Amino acid sequence: MYPTLYMPIPATIERIEDETPDIKTFTIRPVEPIAFAAGQFVELAVPGIGEAPFTPSSSPKITDFMEITIMRTGRVTDWLHGMKVGDEVGVRGPMGRAYPMEEFHGREILVVGGGCGVGPLRSLLLEVIQDLQAYPRVIVRYGAKTPDSIVFRDAQTHGWGQDGAMDVMLTVDEASDGWDGHVGLITEILEEDYLDCHAEDGVAVMCGPPVMMKFGTEKLLQRGYRPENIYLSMEKNMSCGIGQCGHCRMGVYYCCKDGPVFTYDEIQDDPRVWDD
């Protein structure tokens, strides 16, 4: 038995899939099952290099392997992007506060994602898909810079749609040849013309770059969503994962320990809430 918050569990990379030019999804198999809830994160360690926090993008109902979607942004992620199938990593966790799935039952869910932020939302959606009858309606709105930067393209355009069971719409900031979808900022497809929703009693879940979440949250408030019903994944500057280093302090909260899932009601009074 590994003390998973402090000592990494050894895991082997079983598969690496290129999502975009700078984003890859790694399938890892730990030496013992790791159970997590949608929205929680793990610390992924590269032996001899360091570790960094990532939110699993696979279904929480699967514990013998885990998928983690990683954007190349720094030293640890550079090393991860250079690793191969069969290489070994370490996993600490799971950590943090998850989405309160039981509170979502019986309510319409709007899922809003941008860029690599769709990773944690994919975990949520995979759980929702396995229990679709528990939700009156599931809506997905996702934005990317270009068609080439869309993560999980097949899952979004086909799997997430579930033959019409979910309302899925994508947008890109800039189109390219072959793109016949919407072109514009994600806030545009949150407008009434593109989003028919029950904001007064629905739940909205959002993850993406801070600037996207800032304007996305403002749009959802305009549409009538209540601050306590807007759930944000605030993964800023997390490092140690256990609230000791202080890097992820956000007002009175630590993102790693008290989050990363917060309601907007909890954090709206922090003047630095949208800082990178």
pLDDT tens string 45-66: 999 999 999 999 999 999 999 9
- Please list, in sequence order, all residues whose beta carbon lies within 8 angstroms of the beta carbon of residue 189, skipping any fewer than 6 positions away: 141, 143, 169, 171, 182, 195
User: Does 94 sit behind a cis peptide bond, omega within 30 degrees of 0 on the bond before it?
Assistant: yes
Average pLDDT over residues 183-198: 95
**Cα–Cα distance, 157 to 137 (Å, whole number):** 17
Nearest to 36 by CA among 99, 129, 81: 99
Q: For the chain, which domains are there?
A: 9-95 (2.40.30.10), 101-233 (3.40.50.80)
pLDDT confidence of residue 63: 93
Q: Tell me what pLDDT residue 240 has.
A: 84
**3-state class (DSSP) for residue 52:** strand
Q: What is the pLDDT of residue 21?
A: 87
- In the chain the first and final C-alpha atoms are separated, in Å, by 37
pTM above 0.85, yes or no: yes
Residue 161 pLDDT > 90: no
What are the tens digits of pLDDT across the range 102-155?
Answer: 999 999 999 999 877 777 899 999 999 888 899 999 999 999 999 888 887 655
DSSP 156-209: IIIITTGGGTEEEEEEESS--TT--SEES-GGGGGSTTT----TTT-EEEEES-
